[in-house]
Chain A
Amino acid sequence: MRPLTRQFRDFFVSLELTVILLALSIILIFWATLAQTDLGVWGVQQKFFHSFFVLQRFGGSSFPFPVFPGGYFIGGLLLVNLLAAHFYRFKYTWRKTGIWLSHTGVILLLVGELLSGLWQQESQMTFTEGQSKNYAESFRDNELAVVDTTDPKVDKVVAIPEALLAKGDPIQSPKLPFRIIPKFYTPNSVTVAPALAQGQAASMADQGPPFLRQFVPLPQPVTYKEDEKNLPAAYVELDGPDGPIGTWLLAEELVTDPGQQPLNMPPQHFDFGGHSWKISLRATRHYRPYELTLLKVTNDVFPGTNPPIPKNFSSRVRIHSDDGRDNREVEIYMNNPLRYRGLTYYQYQMDKASNLSVLEVVSNPSWRLPYIACALVALGLVIQFGIHLFAFAGRRAAARP
């Protein structure tokens, strides 16, 4: 064996590596637990566990430095270590069946976590009674949607991820007759009426309804809290072959008065190149080839409780697929999600007063793996201890006079 190959093998099969990785993961989990105070669960997941390195900015630096191995790195190495040690060290005999099964379970658990991190997609579907939706919206990701609405039956959508707006480079798509130039972008903002923005820079927008174009985005610190949503805002200029078409203000919510609910900023319409367009900044949408119609929201409370204690939240929905295969009603309530075409719809939030229901939509192709992994580990342990128990009982019976 070549020295380099041996070096690799010895490194990956070593028990020292396992111990070091376990120690590093203890530190990582401890650090991440403390960091939850500022970052919230989602922020901690992204920074510490769904990353190869924990990145940290120092002072005013815009470049993040890797300061500690992240979850993917430690988990990945543990997996390689376990696999390598498994095949190099362990020799299969029937007496070791249990250990083999348990190890396979642990390997599956690690793989399952990695696949969940990479594949799991969470979004939400918000609708009021009578409303139908064929898309779910991301909790955290946003997109710039430029839609060709010329055809009265079909919307031709070009969706630009927020990350490209943040980069600030001109954006071009073969589907669009103009370039999009981000002139200003903030990942979180309060976009306010001009009366609330005195002393701030005036709006850069010269397109869109006069009422909307005067609103001013006030940049806010990015939030990682679970119950808060970042509300991005941007000024984008559209640049046609004959020069600039104009600048639009794009935001998700508009605040007209501190005491009022913010308004959702509607898409803004314009005509260009003989086509009708609309442009908006919105939560990233995931369209499906079927639609759900919210038929009824029910919020039961325990009788006689004041303030009322909720007993049950449920949403009655109708599934209607484009191919006509499904047209049926289902009830979604706590612990009884709807599983349909690879997605799981959970009852998430509800506002009975406005007949509004929010379903959490989870797509995770690897959701069964942790269950299989735990079953394998349990089975392996039962077999292993069983073998020892029977061997022990056999010896004791043999030793009896």
Chain B
Amino acid sequence: MPASRPLVLLAALLLAGGCRKPEVTAYEVPSEKDPDLGLAPASANNTNAGTETPATAAPAGAPMAGAGMANTAVPVAEGPGLVWTAPAAWQSKPASAMRKATYAVPGPGGAEGDLSITAFPSDVGGELANVNRWRGQVQLKPVDAAGLDGVVTRWSQSGLSLTAVDFTAPNGSQRMLGAIVPYNGGTWFFKLSGPAAAVGSARADFTAFLHTIRPAQP
């Protein structure tokens, strides 16, 4: 078709002009200090792979691009996720990286528990590793596979299998209520932690809350 000839020529011309080639650049800037991320103790103490991850490593001191602002993509978030119903007294806070939701759970005397809901690809090392990681966070000794059933409560609802824990630090100051829910090839974590008084007073609410967890599309 004769009319198509100019069109093809123009398309080729536009296409050739539109390609931008990425190039290596070199420049000089005033010397910069690296941000202090509080990683030093972690790097000294965690040279071996193990179940104890450096939970004490503080969140980034100087957030850079995207940190805490954009959500990190995880595949479980791509498909239909889990939904739940939270008590009205719990104050929802903005979700941040990895966190699907965050709630401030009020307790007696102004004390506050922090409830985080996160979704993570894969089985995240397996149930035993996860339970022991949580135990480590409240200074409890790890349990072995045989002892696992003694420290968790399991039940099923809405086609989901929940594994719940209730750990209190040996000195009684901190407490953690948690549930691990495998779903859609990933793992969801529901963790309420904070001062023992605040977490303890919210125990009944938390258990009721766990029973509301269900897939978004059954």
Q: Tell whether A pairs with B.
A: yes
Interfacial residues, chain A to chain B (CB-CB below 8 A): 7-8, 11-12, 51-53, 72-73, 76-77, 80, 124, 126, 128, 131, 134-135, 137-139, 149, 151-164, 171, 173, 175, 188, 190, 193-200, 209-212, 214, 218, 220-221, 223, 225, 227-231, 252-253, 255-264, 266-267, 278, 282-283, 287, 307, 349, 351, 354, 356, 358
Contacting residues, chain A, for B55 (C-beta < 8 A): 256-257, 260
Task: Kindly list chain B residues whose C-beta atoms are within 8 Å of the C-beta of A157.
Answer: 26-29
Shortest B129–chain A CB gap in Å is 6
Q: Which residues of B contact A (CB under 8 A)?
A: 2-3, 5-7, 10-11, 14-15, 18, 22-32, 34-35, 37, 39, 42-44, 46-47, 49-55, 57, 59-60, 62-75, 78, 91, 96-98, 116, 118, 120-126, 129, 133, 137, 187, 189, 191, 193
The listed residue (B23, B28, B53, B78) touching A221 by CB distance below 8 A is B78
- Do A263 and B39 contact each other (CB < 8 Å), given the known contacts A7-B5, A7-B6, A195-B53? yes
Q: In the complex, A252→B66 CA distance in Å?
A: 10
Please state if B53 and A156 are interface contacts (CB–CB under 8 Å): no
Give, as a whole number of angstroms, the nearest-CB distance from A368 to chain B. 24
How many angstroms between the C-alpha atoms of A7 and B49 in the bound complex? 72
A275 to chain B, nearest CB (A): 14
| A residues in contact with B47, CB < 8 Å | 210-211
Nearest CB on B from A276, distance (A): 11
Compute how far the CA of A263 lies from the CA of B39 in the bound complex, rounded to whole angstroms. 9
**4 more A-B residue pairs beyond the given contacts A188-B73, A211-B44, A261-B96, with a C-beta to C-beta distance below 8 A:** A139-B65, A209-B39, A256-B57, A263-B57
Which of B5, B64, B69 lies in contact with A264, CB distance below 8 A?
A: B64
Partner of A195, one of B10, B116, B129: B129
Interchain CA distance A361-B137 in the complex, whole Å: 40
- The answer to whether A266 and B37 have CB atoms under 8 Å apart is yes
Contact A156 B26 (CB under 8 A): yes
B73 pairs with A223, CB closer than 8 A: yes
Give the residue name and chain of the A residue nearest to B18 (CB).
Answer: A52
* Nearest-neighbor residue (CB-CB) of A3 within chain B: B2
Q: Among the interface residues A7, A11, A153, which one has the most CB atoms of the partner chain B within 10 A?
A: A11
Q: List chain B residues, Cβ under 8 A from A8.
A: 6
Contact B31 A195 (CB under 8 A): no
A-B contact pairs, 8 of them (CB 8 A): A137-B65, A157-B29, A190-B74, A212-B39, A218-B122, A229-B65, A256-B55, A261-B59
Q: Which of A73, A214, A218, A356 contacts B49 (CB 8 A)?
A: A214
Q: A221-B73, A253-B72, A283-B64 are in contact. Are A155 and B39 (CB under 8 A)?
A: no
Do A262 and B62 form a contact, CB below 8 Å, given A159-B26, A164-B22, A196-B124? no
Q: Are A257 and B53 in contact (CB under 8 A)?
A: yes
Residues of B within 8 A of A198 (CB): 125-126, 129
Q: What is the CB-to-nearest-CB distance from A190 to chain B, in angstroms, rounded to a whole number?
A: 6
B89 smallest CB distance to A (angstroms)? 13
- Rounded to whole angstroms, the CA-CA distance of A292 and B187 in the bound complex is 42
Do A220 and B73 contact each other (CB < 8 Å), given the known contacts A155-B28, A259-B118? yes
Cβ-defined contact, B72 with A228, below 8 A: yes
CB distance from A95 to the nearest CB of B (A): 33
Complex formed: what's the CA distance from A80 to B14 in Å? 12
Complex CA distance for A160 and B60, rounded to whole angstroms: 25
User: Which listed residue (B22, B72, B78, B122) contacts A200, Cβ 8 A?
Assistant: B122
CB nearest neighbor in A for B191: A259
Q: Check A358/B31 contact, CB under 8 A, given A161-B23, A211-B54, A214-B49.
A: no
Assuming the contacts A80-B10, A211-B47, A214-B49, asked whether A230 and B73 have C-beta atoms less than 8 A apart, the reply is yes
State the 6 A-B residue pairs at the shortest beta-carbon distance, nearest first: A211-B43, A194-B49, A261-B59, A161-B22, A229-B70, A163-B22
Residues of A close to B28: CB separation below 8 A: 154-157
Determine the distance from Cα of A71 to Cα of B18 in the docked complex, in whole angstroms: 12
**Which of A76, A199, A227 lies in contact with B70, CB distance below 8 A?**
A227
